[in-house]
Structure 1
Amino acid sequence: MAQLFFSPHATAGEAPLPEVAVAPADPSLLRDTIGPERAAGLDAAVGGLRSVLGARRVIDVNSTTAGGGVAEMLYRIVRYTRGAGVDARWFTIEADPTFFALTKRLHHLLHGQDAPGPPLDTHAGAYYAAVGERNARALLRSVRPGDLVTLHDPQTAGLAPALRRGGVRVVWRSHIGSDAHNEFTDRAWAFLRPFLDSADAFVFSRARYVPGWLAERQIAVIQPSIDPLSAKNRPLDDHAAAAIVRRMGLRAGGRARERAFYRRGDGTVGQVRRRPVCLYSVSPPPAEAPLVVQISRWDPLKDMAGVMSSFAAGAASLDGAHLALVGPDVTGVSDDPEGGAVFAQCVDLWGRLPLRSRSRIHLVCLPMADAEENAVTVSALQQQATVVAQKSLAEGFGLTVTEAMWKSRPVVASAVGGIRDQIQHGVHGILLDDPHDRVAFAAHAGGLLQDPGRAAALGAGARRRALEHFLDDRQLCQQSALYQSLAVA
């Protein structure tokens, strides 16, 4: 078992917490996508929030600025909130690798899965409390009494007691959870409950994630969403997408010294200059080869290795297709200590495959240095995919599924967590009842490759579903309603 050694210099000290710079964006920009009726509802919601807040601010706190769906979502929601005239801020906590090893174990336990890691004993509780207290004290240098602060996920729960003592209204939002509560979820909640008892309200992505001890508390169920105007989701020319995918080494062909251009959010022309940080590939897939793509963090619950094994074993239905497993640079996600080990396991498995299988499977780590370039690269890969996979063993919500649906891609995904809220089987995509069933995964993916008409129909249904339910205006309205209820309480 790993031991915890708290150092008073390992977390935030007396200096304020780092604030993430976010430029405002007017929510009216969404009008052309969502239509005038929804735009009017959004304007009323954020206008109502603005009027009740007065000088008070809304503040989000999480553990990292990059490398996952929460960070991407916060950037978008904060920028639209600021654009609506609300004083919105975003801060990140500071902690050492030992702390993130502890919170990663809590992450797995909240998903209902056991995992190795530090024991959740009294020493761990004291250490976690000390990290939370120091970060809260640092945050209170930038936060005023009466401000509304949303703390995201297990990394931040320890800030709640000190923030409440400082007169701040506290919301804790969990982006993860499990439909089936078991001994592992119970263990995580027993650890976190003393820190969360002081929070004013709680947000979950699914009602079934709410633990029983919160039954009498203020709960909001708010599903994550995507921004149709972000670099990852705004329209990308097919030629540009193909050029970007070729630059990533995932398509053969193209001209010598071909350049991959795209339009940045500020209207200027950008160029994808960076190549993958890591690429394990015998040779690029032929230009005409069907491409199955899973884009995820290198997390054991995303089951990248299981996707690879399924694909390698499904030779009959997947013959001629190629698989790309794509994730972030494992050094670029500070709060996920497992990324390097999971990627190394995938590389080891890839190296032991027969050459015939290995030549059709490609492992890619994308650079994180330029967030917009990373996002447009992900967009190009999703757009160029014949089938998008998300064979997670557990999933809080699964924004990579939403992103693929918005791009009209047929998706084969596990029927776990929030993925089940997004996809109706056979209408918006294909759901795998058992995420461990590698034979069924290969059969479903292969079936879509062999039936382009069905794949196109599922993609069209997916696009409609994303438009109706999973764009940022819906989340902004729900969030505004929650904050208004707290502001007038």
Structure 2
Amino acid sequence: MDKVVLKEQAKIDDYKGIISDGLFNELIVLSEKLKKAKVCHINATSYGGGVAEILRKEIPLAKSLGLNFDWKAVSAEPDFFDVTKKIHNGLQGADIKITADEWELYGACNHNLSKVLNVHDYDIILIHDPQPAEIINCIGKNGAKWIWRCHIDTSEPNQEIANYFLKFLNHYDASIFTMREYILRGMHGDIFIIPPAIDALGDKNKPMSRAEAEDIVKKFGINTERPLITQVSRFDPWKDPVGVVDAYKIAKRKNPNLQLAMVGSMADDDPEGMQIFKDLKRYAGDDKDIFLLSNHDGLNDLEVNAFQKYSDIVLQKSTKEGFGLTVSEALWKETPVIGGNVGGIPTQIEDGKTGFLVNNVEECAEKITYLVNHHGIAHEMGKRGKETVRQKFLLPRLLRDELKVIERLLDA
């Protein structure tokens, strides 16, 4: 397990004028009360995916408030992440069998992780998702308060896999889910509902002019005289990349100038990503208007910002989605979003007001065509979407909510 050292210098004062005075003052009061508490976040990877992205911004923001927050990421062999990817998919409902040998590997790796975690250094241990969740079973609480934070859609889990986790998840002092529907059957104790959030100040979401965005997307071959739709996500079956290509192809029949960009990162804990990327490239065929791009092509946060800003529409056509940070990212840039009507996406999109919720490829294609042909409506949707994100889905609100949980546990 490696401590993640961050160069980011996020400051809460920079959020003045972006968040409400009430939220700002609440954070000041809570941080003053909790400044002596030592908190350790533990997750699967320091790069790639929504959890790492949140922590990369949240930890510096907490430190700017004088809070004592550490972040540690799992270090393990690739076969561990092969197993945890299967577990992840199973908890989201995939019909997957975890063998006895795979469970043994999972438990052994968690046991090894527990050996290098000095629990006595912390008052709060906050474990993210299933990868390091069994550490508590290996080491015990040792005087700390333990929180399990589930970021995935566990509304209809593979029950056999869920039952394995319930054996030790109920040892935690509290658990946090994104939506009430995700609470695993059989969970008890303190359960909190806290949706994730985005950082408005970093390279991915900071203000960018349309001209600057245009210059960046041009470098990747985008024709800025023609409409562009974009999906930003991991290359993952749950993000339905094939369905995105199919919807684009249907919509292109009515809008022959349409272009599609599919932008994603290859996360350290996702062994499937590269294979899905290769399969998707074959599926897209020789269509010169489909651009499959990743961090390996030089796409980092600033470039993602540009694609979300410049696109006429952003898609998040997931079939399962714990939350989908990319929805709020796009709405923050006043770009309308067409999202799958699943998981945490409807929490962010008000159907017909800030974007559209769709249930299949045909509906997605229909809404793409509508928004490409109705620029005024698309613009108004984007403006309303930004205000929704400002009120509900910015990082200081997430930090406030988590500090309230920590305060409650330490006061208990």
Bucket of the pairwise TM-score, normalised by the shorter protein: over 0.9
Note the alpha carbon deviations across 1:268-289, whole angstroms, 9 max, x for none.
xxxxxxxxxxxxxxxxxx3210
- TM-score normalised by structure 1 residue count: 0.81
Greater mean alpha carbon deviation, residues 123-132 or residues 379-388: 123-132
The counterpart of 2:209, out of the listed 234, 237, 246, is 237
User: In the alignment, what sits opposite 2:42?
Assistant: 61
- Aligned residue among 74, 94, 106 for 2:87: 106
Map of 1:68-217 to 2, 5 A cutoff?
68-115=49-96, 119-140=97-118, 143-144=119-120, 146-179=122-155, 181=156, 184-214=157-187, 216-217=188-189
- 1:222 pairs, out of 194, 214, 225, with 194
* Counterpart Cα distance in 1 of 2:316 and 2:255: 17
Shift of 1:165: 4.3
Give the deviation of 1:423 after TM superposition.
Answer: 1.0
Q: Secondary structure at the match of 1:292?
A: strand
Is 1:19 the equivalent of 2:3? yes
Matched, 1:389 2:315: yes
User: Is 1:38 aligned to 2:10, yes or no?
Assistant: no
TM-score in terms of structure 2 length: 0.95
Name the counterpart of 1:259: none
Classify the secondary structure of the residue corresponding to 1:32: coil
* DSSP-derived class of the 1:91 partner: strand
Residue in structure 2 matched with residue 308 of structure 1 by the alignment: 245
Q: Deviations over 1:235-262 (max 9, x none)?
A: 0132221111112222xxxxxxxxxxxx
User: For residues 307 and 459 of structure 1, what CA distance do their matches in structure 2 show?
Assistant: 21
Give the direction of change, closer, same or farther, for the CA distance of 1:339–1:162 in structure 2 (3 Å limit).
same
Q: Which residue number corresponds to residue 301 of structure 2? A: 375
Of 318-327 and 18-27, deviating more is 18-27
Q: 1:418 aligns with which of 337, 344, 347?
A: 344
CA shift at 1:27, angstroms?
1.5
Structure-2 residue corresponding to 1:13: none
- Distance (Å, rounded) in 2 between the aligned partners of 1:32 and 1:81: 18
Q: CA deviation at 1:153?
A: 0.7
Secondary structure, in 3 states, of the residue corresponding to 1:34?
Answer: coil
Deviation of 1:461 (Å) = 1.0
**1:148–1:170 contact (8 Å) kept in structure 2:** yes
CA drift at 1:368: 8.4
Residue number in structure 1 paired with 2:224: 287
Q: Is the CA contact (8 Å cut-off) linking 1:302 and 1:392 kept in structure 2?
A: yes
SS of alignment partner, residue 136 of structure 1? helix
Give, in angstroms, the shift of residue 145 of structure 1.
5.4
Whole-angstrom distance in 1 between the partners of 2:248 and 2:402: 40
Q: How far is the alpha carbon of 1:26 from its aligned partner?
A: 3.0
Contact 1:178 1:417 in 2 (8 A): no
Based on CA coordinates, which of the two structures has the bigger radius of gyration? 1
Q: Is the 8 A contact 2:170 2:189 kept in 1?
A: no
- CA distance in 2 between partners of 1:109 and 1:33 (Å): 39
Distance across 1 between alignment mates of 2:170 and 2:98: 18
1:374 to partner: Cα distance: 0.7
In structure 2, runs of 5+ residues without a counterpart are none
Deviations 1:46-79 (A, max 9, x none): 22322xxx3x411101111111111010111111
Once residues 393 and 183 of structure 2 are traced to their aligned partners in structure 1, the CA distance between those partners, rounded to angstroms, is 21
Quote how far apart the aligned CAs of 1:171 are.
Answer: 0.7
Q: Which of 370, 392, 399 matches 1:469?
A: 392
Quickly say closer, same or farther: Cα 1:74–1:460, change in 2 above 3 A: same
Letter matched to residue 38 of structure 1: L
2:328 equivalent in structure 1: 402
Query: What residue in structure 1 maps to residue 294 of structure 2?
Result: 365
Query: What count of residue pairs does the alignment treat as equivalent?
Result: 411
Q: Quick one: structure 1 residues 83 and 431, their matched pair in 2 at CA, closer, same or farther if it must change by over 3 Å?
A: same
8 Å contact from structure 1 (residues 59, 150) kept in 2: yes
Amino acid at match of 2:32: G
Superimposed CA distance per residue, residues 394-437 of structure 1 (whole angstroms, 9 cap, x where no aligned partner): 100000001001000011111110101111101111000x2xx2
Q: Distance in 2 between matches of 1:85 and 1:91?
A: 19
Aligned amino acid, residue 69 of structure 2: A
Return structure 1 stretches of 4+ with deviation > 4 angstroms.
none
SS at match of 1:412: strand
Structure 1 vs Structure 2 CA RMSD: 1.7
Q: Distance in 1 between matches of 2:148 and 2:139?
A: 12
Contact kept? 2:40, 2:122, Cα under 8 Å: no
Q: 1:340 to 1:100 in 2, by over 3 A?
A: same
Read off the aligned partner of 2:44 and give its amino acid letter. S
The CA distance in 2 between the partners of 1:226 and 1:319, in whole Å, is 34
**Local SS of the residue matching 1:463:** helix
Matches within 5 A, 1:260-271: none
Residue by residue, what CA displacement relative to the aligned partner does 1:287-318 show, whole Å, maximum 9, x if unpaired?
21010000110101111121112211333333
Q: Offset at 1:147?
A: 1.9
Partners of 2:95 and 2:158 within 8 A in 1: no
SS at match of 2:140: helix
The within-5 A match list for 1:428-447 is: 428-432=354-358, 434=359, 437-447=360-370
Residues 61-118 of structure 1, C-alpha deviation per residue, up to 9 Å, x if partnerless?
1111111111010111111111111110000111111111111111112222335xxx
Whether 1:340 and 2:239 are equivalent positions in the alignment is no
Post-superposition Cα deviations, 1:14-37, rounded to whole Å, max 9, x if no partner, equal: xxx311113553312211211423
